[in-house]
Structure 1
Amino acid sequence: MDYKKELEKLNEYQRKAVLDESNACIVNASVGSGKTTVLISKIIYLHYEKNVSYKDMVVLTFTNKAADEIKERLINLDTSIDINELNLFGTFHSVALYLLKNVLPKEELGYTKDFFVIEPDEELDIAMEIIQENKLKIKYKNRLKKRLEKSVQIHEEEKKISKYDDDIFSLVEFLKKEKVLQNKMSFTDIINNANLLLDNNKIKPKWIIIDEVQDSDKLQLHFIDKLKTLDTKLFAVGDPNQVIYSWRGSDLKVFDILKNKYEAKEVSLPINYRSNNTILEVAMCFLRDRDSLKGIRNTESKILVKNHYDAFNEACYLADKIRRMHKEGADYKDIAIFYRLQNQSKVLEDVFLKNEVPYEVSLKKNIRDIPVLNWLIKVLRFSVNPNDISSAVYVISNKDYGAGIREKTARKIIKEKNIDKSELLKKMNEFLSESSKIIKTEDFYAYFEFDKYIRPTSATYKEDKEYIYNLFDIIMKYINEKNVDFLDGLKEFINSSALYGLNILKEDINSNADSVKLMTLHASKGLEFSSVFIIGVNYGLIPLNTGCMEEEEEEERLFFVGVTRAKDYLELSYYTNPDYYRAREGKSLYLHMIPPELIENDVNESTKVNLQELKKQIQKEKNELKKEEVVEVIEEVVKKVRHKKYGIGKVIKEDEMMLQVEFENYGVKEFIKGFSELEFI
């Protein structure tokens, strides 16, 4: 390929980063500055100009989506690439998993090549079994998952006593041994074990290239360090202004750590190609370093700040506005609505569905959210891994789909391998020898005789059967595409589904579907849309009331991320009467931080009345009137009203402050008189 043509497309800052010859280079990439383009150009440049094989590069990302995008764009540019050359291109976990499966001697840690990956919730289940069996004293079990993560990362010399005076460190040791016995690794184990084995088994890549390096946690920084030798060069791209995952372990000081540790040179990508200048000026209000962002898209437009009485009032407004935008030529898929908390999507979903506005919700699910699949994947886990006792116990003792055997009894017959006590247990035990007969989805279903367990008389039978068939279809397709032996493909799929999730759960929104995208601010990272609405900019929502300086600073960075997803249009809104217990009424401080000259006046903001002040006025009027006069006034009120959204309705109840109105197509709605926007007729 003519890689020089690709370099010619870069601006001076991007080209400087790509051509940099430093042993370690950290690229401070401002939002929308083309960091992925730089990263891919660097890979192409190293391969064609410096003769570095793709196999000698480790390219690390934080999401499967980013890893897939990098590989896809590389293959589109260089059609000569063999996909096997890119085995070390992926997320930190997928690269560590590949090394453990194919390169590193995991046997030294007690594992076989066929070890399985388990999700945090499954690890928690094993931990709870250990606590019960060994009668361990563990406090704060509701936070056990987090406590285990922290305890695993504590150095040996620090393991003296739990600050809660319980058996947490004993649990960690029991859990470690049990996972080895069951041939299982958690997500944390994958990185941890790779780090342990890399001490004496260096793989010596020529280059380590990292995307979104600011998201690295301590384990991942150790992983980078273990991969790097004296002859390995480092190229990392990231944006300190987008550190929004400190609750997951990301370190705000990653840039400083890498620069000091590897004497890295820092270069910048300051030019934003995404957002117009007004949006960038708004975004810069939430940056510590306001000189770090430069735009090239001039515009005279302003952003809109909108006040709504409550979330329902807002959802109706958004449905109308978005339909109008669509009629004027905007694609639904170019419009996004961001919020701080996942439950804020519910009212939008209800109203959009009723108003026929197509939408998708970005909602991270795991396999536990579908009970029959949670059960089924454990059937498969034990079927291919007879050491997986915890999965087998869950399968045959499950109240909804199991064999009607109590958990204690199930554990006993499984450990004693008394397969005559359960037909399903027998099927699972014989699966490895019988699996050669499985050629298609129907064979899968028939072998296990699932109709006996999902019960045709059950209300969920039809749906459960469809889920099972869909999952088996996905498994068979996966095995065929990989062109591997059935059992090897099934084992690989089970690991893949734990690490990456299952497509059947629709974890990610489909960017190509013509639908409005609804998501949290965290989920918006890495995306871009022509029009963005950020709702609920009330203190207590945006930002959350954290009470911690570091978290408040992260809330600002999170808002910055949301604002900079918008290319052409940005609208921010807040509630007079928020429906969320933590949120305060009225504008968040964030809205006061934006210069007035960047904001378009909302001509419809007639409801911008302080609710507390309204209540005081009503109470004052109530005290001035005699009770009889109030009753008389109420009785004389006209009983029909007109609302711009709901049409004509009938007043069915009224007092000094509230109105209840029944509308033909919308049912009964309740209004505060001062905010109702009702016209009496």
Structure 2
Amino acid sequence: MGKFAWTKEQETALTSSKDVLLTANAGTGKTLTIVGKIMWMMGLQVGSSEGKHETIPTSINPCKINEIGAITFTRKSAADLRQKLRHELLQSDEPEAKLLALRLDEAFIGTIHGFCESILREHALRLGINPTFKVLNAQVADLKKDEIIKEVILKQLEQEYIETKALARRYRLSDIISQSRAMLREVRWHPERYRNWNSSFVDEQPLPECQDPGDRLSRDLTYGLYTLARSAEEQWQRQLLVNNEKDFDQLILETRSLLRSPKATHALQQIRSRYKILIIDEFQDTDDAQSDIAFAIGGNNKTKLFLVGDPKQSIYGWRGADITVWNEVKEKIQKSGNVLSLTKNFRSDPKVIETVNTICGPAMNQSAAKLRQAGLNTSAIDYQEMEANRASSGTAKCQLINLKASNSAGRRLEEGRKIGACIQELVEKAMIVDPDTNKKRHCTYHDIAILHRSRTNLELFQKGLVEAGIPFQISHQDYNKSTEIADIVNLLRLLINPDDNYYALGFLRSPFVGIRDEVITGIRISDFHQSLLEQAKKFLDGHKWPEYPENSSLPELERFALKRGLETFHKAQKLVGRVPLPDLLRRFVSESFYDIHLFLGNQRKGEESYSNIQGFLQFAEEHRQISIEEFLELWDLSLSKDSPPSLAADSEADLVTVSTIHKAKGLEWPIVFSIQNDKNVSQRRNELIPSDGTFLSSLYLKESDNGPHNEETLAPSNLARLEAEECRLLYVCMTRARDQLIVCGEIEKKTSGFFWERLNQFHSWENISSQTGRQEITDLDLVPLEWLNRIETMDLPPLATTITGPPMQFTSSATEVMTKQRSEEEWQKKYEYGVQSTLSFAGRRSGRIPSQTRGKVIHGVLERIQEYEELPQVLNETLNSMDTVELSGSPGPGSNYWEALELELQEVLKSSDWKWYVKGEHFRELPFVHLVGPRNWHLGAFDLYRPGADGEKALIVDFKTHKLKDADIEQVSQTYLSQMNIYQKAADISKGSVVRLHFTVPNSTWPKKGLDSTI
């Protein structure tokens, strides 16, 4: 970054010493600017201004790395920011930067929930709370709240609540729960809106503005939902208190409440002293509570605020984000800080930028004018034009696919077919600019995204893609219909209850085993008194296998598959509760060869299925610490909700991405298609419309239950807000494209749509003449078995067979042999009784680390490292991979001890010996098993094995991490002769070899070159 050339806008943001509100337009280098700001704050060189040769002056008042606070929108964003910051620190020419990379975990980089949690725990005593609270996973908390809402509804129905009975007559239970959920959040986040509700409803006389029967009905139904939500909230708070738990909402709300209370005086002093800068990313999608927390900490001379976002990308109003907060903060910061903008777009081709400006500028400005006309000035966002900072590539296009279908369902199918044909042509002929290299190359499926607004009729669109033979992955889909996910979930249920024949049947029929139904039938009728799995074990050996006339080899293959499947299942049973769920699943999928099975048929379908499995494993990773039972309960409840779990897509697979626009925010693709442009904006049902001052707040219910005040006054003003957000959604969609933007619509404009009207208002699109070119798809569920006739069976060659490990009681390592030769008593204590020598713990009192841990760190670095420049990063990765217990009591990162260790490793890596070791083919930590006699096996691993060229002996290098003097090397080396002998005999089986010891201190080897052959 020291050689980076910043725009003038970026330089101003980096070097500002005041509070900053930074509008970072799409593709303007927002994350890089945040990284630069952090490095500038720490007093590091960040580069120069664009067009100038002078470097940007460093901060005159630098802060420490632990005085940095950066809040991101998601955990993934936090991980990306941390990774990019570490990369820039390691690339810096300043030695101090590389040390800061090792200490990066001292800075806070995380979500607002993580930030609030850290404040509540660190200052628990000052704030008067119990610091041992547990934070509930968001999905778990939502599902538990829904259960409480359901209980409250049923209880109020039993108690004859009039309002609740009125709701039950009009809505299904799931609808009442959904409506109550929306009201519960409002009651919790905006209690000031409901302070007078009870007193207003106690009076039986109708309010003057509530004379219409429709208004009274809307008012009464909303009050019924309010009573449900209030009761559920009280019960939820009691449950959290009893269990000493907090959900994500409470983390934020409680932090705000405590920081604004008198008891927070001392805590605030400590927090302000800790953080010299507080960075908040995606500030356009925040709310008043998060803003209050930021200004409670910042807005003073100690902690500066650096708030970054793009109000034109505020698209999460349905999730509680409030764009009015941005405008209010803007007014506040203008008085004493800097309101800045980044307008130079580095992402998209100038042609794409011109199209975005032409369409989104008028659309947003018109929506802002409409909001101001309705008196909603604080919700209005004016468009700010972007300037292309990327040279034209000559590959850019902004085009239209013309649709002719007369209805929405027909247009979805037509979109799928025509986009599919277009994609096939793009992959065959189109060139794009590679996002990483900025060089032209051929387009792949991975370079393409299709963005949509909702899931309505999406299955028809997918059908069109399938007909065109397009491989794709989708961000939202019904995972109950995904065969591979169903197989894995069925496996988990069987692991919980192996006696359940229903799940056992699914297991045996699935690719985990893969036997015919007639075989399973034969297994079942063999003995009805046992479970199906128990019967299957006995059936392997004691019963005749059903024949398969079409291929005589199939029964033997099935027998092998059943045996392997049952063995794999038995192993997994033993690991349940001992191994985290995602690790258990990865092992089972691999050992059962399920992942290989996916690719036996259609390669593209296999990639899609494999991507689904990776997404499921990522979902399991997010719930790593819960049991299988808890995970399945969470999975079932998630599927029953309106929004099923979203599984992470495989970012490396060569698949087209089909995603909602919301999911695509923050991402980019060379080519983007926009579909569903014919949809209109409508009032969201079950959304609470805030009061206009003359009428109590109200939920927008189904049309027949909304009175005139809802329909004529509240709803129109709220619809103006929704349309403004929809304009911002269009902006997000269009700015995902780097080279080509292709939209679907009707040239004749027979069908209107919110996006389509704005896409056509000030822009003329180039029409793509697309032929659907439908491709015949074979039924992949009916796989012909004639391929079995082409298989030739034979014994595997020795090197391809699985080596059965020797019984552990007959094995020994080189270290064990050395110990036994040196002292029988020491060997017995260590290897029979498991007693560690006191020397192995040496170092804790001396400010160092135990010798065993030191050796593990050095060996870990030498195993991983590829280039000398990677040393700080690899050392940090090695430390992070070790157990906390191993490093407990050790000096902290950045201490003199770790500096000295890094210098020691530098000497090794710079030596001519090391360069020779790793030149050409070599293996690190190469394991070996050597049978040296009856019931006598030697196990070990060569630190480094270099096969050598023809006629040259192989070299085995064993790194020793003692701290020695040159004069002591000869004497110490003699003690390792038996170990060297074991290594040499094991290696000699393959090729004649020599063994060399390499002592990291004083970076010397034994025996010296030329004496190797005498060992």
The alignment's TM-score, normalised by the length of structure 2, stands at: 0.45
**Aligned partner (choices 120, 123, 126) of residue 148 of structure 2:** 126
In structure 1, what is the Cα distance between the partners aligned to 2:415 and 2:102? 51
Contact 2:35 2:85 in 1 (8 A): yes
**Aligned partner (choices 296, 306, 320) of residue 421 of structure 2:** 320
Closer, same or farther: CA 556–191 of 1 in aligned 2, 3 Å: same
State the partner residue of 1:429: none
State the partner residue of 1:62: 73
Question: What SS does structure 1 have at the residue aligned with 2:146?
Answer: helix
In structure 2, what is the Cα distance between the partners aligned to 1:593 and 1:13? 32
**Aligned partner (choices 207, 225, 238) of residue 309 of structure 2:** 238
Structure number with greater Rg is 2
In structure 2, what is the Cα distance between the partners aligned to 1:319 and 1:71? 38
**1:19 matches 2:15:** yes
Q: CA deviation at 1:307?
A: 1.3
State the partner residue of 1:180: 241
Contact 2:619 2:648 in 1 (8 A): no
Q: CA deviation at 1:591?
A: 2.9
Bigger drift between 193-202 and 318-327 goes to 193-202
Closer, same or farther: CA 520–178 of 1 in aligned 2, 3 Å: same
State the partner residue of 1:4: 2
- What whole-Å deviation, never above 9, does each CA across 1:644-667 have from its counterpart, x for those lacking one? 7359xxxxxxxxxxxxxxx9989x
**Aligned partner (choices 521, 529, 544) of residue 669 of structure 2:** 529
Closer, same or farther: CA 72–587 of 1 in aligned 2, 3 Å: closer
**Aligned partner (choices 766, 773, 782) of residue 645 of structure 1:** 773
Q: CA deviation at 1:107?
A: 8.9
1:82-481 aligned within 5 A: 82=102, 85-86=105-106, 88-105=108-125, 108=128, 112-117=132-137, 118-132=140-154, 137=161, 138=164, 140-155=176-191, 158-161=194-197, 164-166=222-224, 167=227, 168-199=229-260, 200=264, 201-202=267-268, 203-204=271-272, 205-228=275-298, 230=300, 231-262=302-333, 263-284=336-357, 285-287=359-361, 288=365, 289=382, 292-296=385-389, 297-298=391-392, 302-308=397-403, 309=405, 310-328=411-429, 329-363=442-476, 442-443=573-574, 445=576
In structure 1, what is the Cα distance between the partners aligned to 2:470 and 2:13? 44
In structure 1, what is the Cα distance between the partners aligned to 2:316 and 2:489? 28
Q: CA deviation at 1:10?
A: 1.6
Bigger drift between 546-555 and 231-240 goes to 546-555
In structure 1, what is the Cα distance between the partners aligned to 2:488 and 2:73? 26
In structure 1, what is the Cα distance between the partners aligned to 2:615 and 2:316? 32
Bigger drift between 244-253 and 269-278 goes to 244-253
Aligned residues: 522
State the partner residue of 2:980: none
In structure 2, what is the Cα distance between the partners aligned to 1:366 and 1:67? 28
State the partner residue of 1:617: none
Closer, same or farther: CA 37–586 of 1 in aligned 2, 3 Å: closer
In structure 2, what is the Cα distance between the partners aligned to 1:556 and 1:477? 36
The answer for unaligned runs of 5 or more in structure 2 is 45-58, 91-98, 168-175, 199-218, 366-381, 406-410, 430-441, 504-570, 582-593, 595-612, 686-714, 780-1015
In structure 1, what is the Cα distance between the partners aligned to 2:658 and 2:462? 9
Q: CA deviation at 1:341?
A: 0.9
Percent identity over the alignment?
22
Contact 1:574 1:586 in 2 (8 A): no
Contact 1:29 1:238 in 2 (8 A): yes
Contact 1:104 1:198 in 2 (8 A): no
Q: CA deviation at 1:254?
A: 3.1
The alignment's TM-score, normalised by the length of structure 1, stands at: 0.65
Contact 1:106 1:113 in 2 (8 A): no
Closer, same or farther: CA 324–602 of 1 in aligned 2, 3 Å: closer
Q: CA deviation at 1:477?
A: 8.5
Q: Which amino acid in the other structure matches residue 234 of structure 2?
A: E
In structure 2, what is the Cα distance between the partners aligned to 1:372 and 1:577? 48
1:515-554 aligned within 5 A: 515-540=655-680, 548-554=719-725
In structure 2, what is the Cα distance between the partners aligned to 1:542 and 1:306? 26
1:616-631 aligned within 5 A: none
State the partner residue of 2:83: 72
Contact 1:539 1:589 in 2 (8 A): no
Closer, same or farther: CA 444–161 of 1 in aligned 2, 3 Å: farther
In structure 2, what is the Cα distance between the partners aligned to 1:276 and 1:514? 23
Q: CA deviation at 1:142?
A: 3.1
- What whole-Å deviation, never above 9, does each CA across 1:196-236 have from its counterpart, x for those lacking one? 33341322221110111111112222232333362210111
Contact 1:544 1:555 in 2 (8 A): no
In structure 2, what is the Cα distance between the partners aligned to 1:473 and 1:61? 24
- What whole-Å deviation, never above 9, does each CA across 1:65-112 have from its counterpart, x for those lacking one? 211110111111224334673562111122223333454359945674
In structure 1, what is the Cα distance between the partners aligned to 2:114 and 2:492? 20
Contact 1:575 1:586 in 2 (8 A): no
In structure 1, what is the Cα distance between the partners aligned to 2:296 and 2:112? 13
- What whole-Å deviation, never above 9, does each CA across 1:437-488 have from its counterpart, x for those lacking one? xxx964453799x9xxxxxxxxxxxx9xxxxx999998999999xxxxxxxx
State the partner residue of 1:558: 729
In structure 1, what is the Cα distance between the partners aligned to 2:767 and 2:614? 51
- What whole-Å deviation, never above 9, does each CA across 1:310-345 have from its counterpart, x for those lacking one? 222221222222122112220211111111112454
In structure 1, what is the Cα distance between the partners aligned to 2:766 and 2:617? 52
Contact 1:336 1:518 in 2 (8 A): yes
Closer, same or farther: CA 15–222 of 1 in aligned 2, 3 Å: same
State the partner residue of 1:659: none
Closer, same or farther: CA 116–371 of 1 in aligned 2, 3 Å: farther
C-alpha RMSD over aligned residues? 4.9
In structure 1, what is the Cα distance between the partners aligned to 2:427 and 2:258? 55
Contact 2:120 2:131 in 1 (8 A): no
Question: What SS does structure 1 have at the residue aligned with 2:21?
Answer: strand
In structure 1, what is the Cα distance between the partners aligned to 2:188 and 2:313? 27
- What whole-Å deviation, never above 9, does each CA across 1:374-409 have from its counterpart, x for those lacking one? 99999xxxxxxxxxxxxxxxx9xxxx99xxxxxxxx
The higher-RCO structure (CA 8 Å, 6+ apart) is 1
Closer, same or farther: CA 542–333 of 1 in aligned 2, 3 Å: farther
Closer, same or farther: CA 155–145 of 1 in aligned 2, 3 Å: closer
In structure 1, what is the Cα distance between the partners aligned to 2:385 and 2:761? 18
Closer, same or farther: CA 83–471 of 1 in aligned 2, 3 Å: farther
Q: CA deviation at 1:175?
A: 2.3
Contact 1:335 1:517 in 2 (8 A): yes
Closer, same or farther: CA 444–275 of 1 in aligned 2, 3 Å: same
- What whole-Å deviation, never above 9, does each CA across 1:332-374 have from its counterpart, x for those lacking one? 111111111124542343343454422111229999x989999
Q: Which amino acid in the other structure matches residue 249 of structure 1?
A: G
- What whole-Å deviation, never above 9, does each CA across 1:511-535 have from its counterpart, x for those lacking one? 3222111111222211111111111
Closer, same or farther: CA 470–532 of 1 in aligned 2, 3 Å: closer
Q: Which amino acid in the other structure matches residue 234 of structure 1?
A: L
Q: CA deviation at 1:490?
A: 6.0
In structure 1, what is the Cα distance between the partners aligned to 2:617 and 2:723? 46
